[in-house]
């Protein structure tokens, strides 16, 4: 089995019910996407988006707690996301790692909880600009992969997103060679550790736009994208999906 191609949107803390009009537009413009399409919405929109999408695209959350339930005010359990109709959850996004000081171990624990609830974990890794400038990128990515992906991960329940922190929301992207180098490392490490690691989908994320998507998707071991800002509008996300299809 080859890795499945996935165009994933991350709406972050954006969108109210009115934004679901974008789902209608996206579906109207893309009757037959040749790849999987996912939007990870704010928790409040997961169920309404599932209803609106009517099975034509997948809906995910943006975080979950490592525990199945309990006294954790403001948090959300993986099973609650699944109950709302989510199929995926983003874990270890750099904004979570920065804003909430999430560690690799916590990301791994959350990923296990996601798997237990039947969700696909979209686990994010990525170096800071200082780490890249210091020549530490490959070591950082290897350590994040080792620490953030739990044993038991498979190509069916896990997707990995390489998102250089300095490329998120900045309009800056690594060179194609830099993306290729990291994706090759990820493929090697995953293949060495997991029986079906060669089949795990690897996404690139960080300022993917309609204008650069095709070039990025042509890079070896890039099986799709995790898209922030450009996933909010169907007019931007649609062409990115088409470039992957
Ligand atoms: C993201 O939030 O995961 C992301 C990649 O954002 P952007 O596409 O806006 O850089």
pLDDT at residue 1 is higher than 80: no
Assign domain 36-43+76-244 one CATH number from 3.20.20.70, 3.40.50.10610, 3.30.70.100, 3.60.10.10: 3.20.20.70
Whole-number Å distance, alpha carbon 229 to ligand 1 midpoint, is 6
Determine the Cα angle at 177 with ends 216 and 36, to 5°.
25
At 226 the pLDDT is 98
pLDDT of residue 31: 59
What pLDDT shows up at residue 29?
A: 79
pLDDT at 229 over 80: yes
Average pLDDT, the chain: 97
pLDDT (0 to 100) of residue 165: 98
Nearest CA owner, ligand 1 atom 7: 228
At 129-187, the pLDDT tens digits run 999 999 999 999 999 999 999 999 999 999 999 999 999 999 999 999 999 999 999 99
Q: Which long-range contacts (CB under 8 A, 24 or more apart) does 25-28 make?
A: 25/234, 25/235, 25/238, 26/57, 26/234, 26/237, 26/238, 26/241, 27/53, 27/56, 27/57
**40-88 per-position pLDDT tens digit:** 999 999 999 999 999 999 999 999 999 999 999 999 999 999 999 999 9
* Nearest ligand 1 atom to alpha carbon 209: 8
Residues with CB under 6 A from ligand 1: 10, 12, 163, 168-169, 205-208, 226-230
Q: Is 41:59 a contact under the CB 8 Å cutoff? A: yes
Distance 91 CA to ligand 1 centre (A): 14
pLDDT of residue 134: 98
Residue 115 falls in the annotated catalytic set: no
- The candidate with the shortest Cα–Cα distance to 167, out of 225, 102, 119, is 225
Helix axes 46-53, 21-29, angle to 10 degrees: 30
Work out which ligand 1 atom sits closest to the CA atom of 167.
10
Q: What is the pLDDT of residue 30?
A: 75
Q: How far is the CA of 210 from the centre of ligand 1 (A)?
A: 13
pLDDT confidence of residue 144: 98
- What are the tens digits of pLDDT across the range 94-143? 999 999 999 999 999 999 999 999 999 999 999 999 999 999 999 999 99
Residue at token pair 């690799």: 104
Burial of 20 (0-12, 13-18, 19+ CB in 10 A): middle
Domain definitions of the chain by residue range: 36-43+76-244
136 among known catalytic residues: no
Task: Give the closest residue (by CA) to ligand 1 atom 5.
Answer: 206
Distance CA 184, CA 188 (A): 6
Q: What is the pLDDT of residues 190-223, one digit of tens each?
A: 999 999 999 999 999 999 999 999 999 999 999 9
Q: How far is the centre of ligand 1, averaged over its atoms, from the C-alpha of 171 (Å)?
A: 9
Q: Whose CA is nearest to atom 6 of ligand 1?
A: 228
């Amino acid at each position: 089995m080859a890795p499945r191609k996935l165009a994933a949107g991350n709406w972050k803390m954006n969108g109210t019910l009115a934004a679901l009009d974008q789902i209608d537009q996206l579906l109207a413009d893309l009757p037959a996407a040749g790849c999987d399409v996912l939007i990870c919405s704010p928790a409040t929109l997961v169920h309404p988006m599932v209803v609106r999408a009517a099975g034509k695209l997948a809906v995910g959350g943006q975080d979950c707690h490592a525990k199945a339930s309990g006294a954790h005010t403001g948090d959300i359990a993986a099973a609650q996301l699944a109950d709302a109709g989510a199929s995926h959850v983003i874990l270890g996004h750099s904004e979570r790692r920065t804003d909430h000081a999430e560690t690799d171990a916590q990301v791994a624990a959350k990923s296990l909880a996601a798997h237990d609830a039947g969700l696909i974990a979209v686990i994010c890794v990525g170096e800071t600009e200082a780490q890249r400038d210091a020549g530490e990128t490959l070591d950082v990515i290897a350590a994040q992969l080792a620490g953030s992906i739990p044993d038991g991960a498979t190509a069916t329940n896990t997707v990995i997103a390489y998102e250089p922190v300095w490329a998120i929301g900045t309009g800056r992207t690594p060179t194609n060679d830099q993306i290729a180098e990291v994706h090759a490392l990820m493929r090697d490490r995953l293949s060495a550790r997991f029986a079906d690691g060669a089949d795990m989908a690897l996404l690139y994320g960080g300022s993917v736009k309609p204008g650069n998507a095709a070039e990025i998707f042509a890079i070896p071991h890039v099986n799709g994208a995790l898209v922030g800002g450009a996933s909010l509008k169907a007019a931007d996300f649609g062409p990115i999906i088409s470039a992957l299809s």
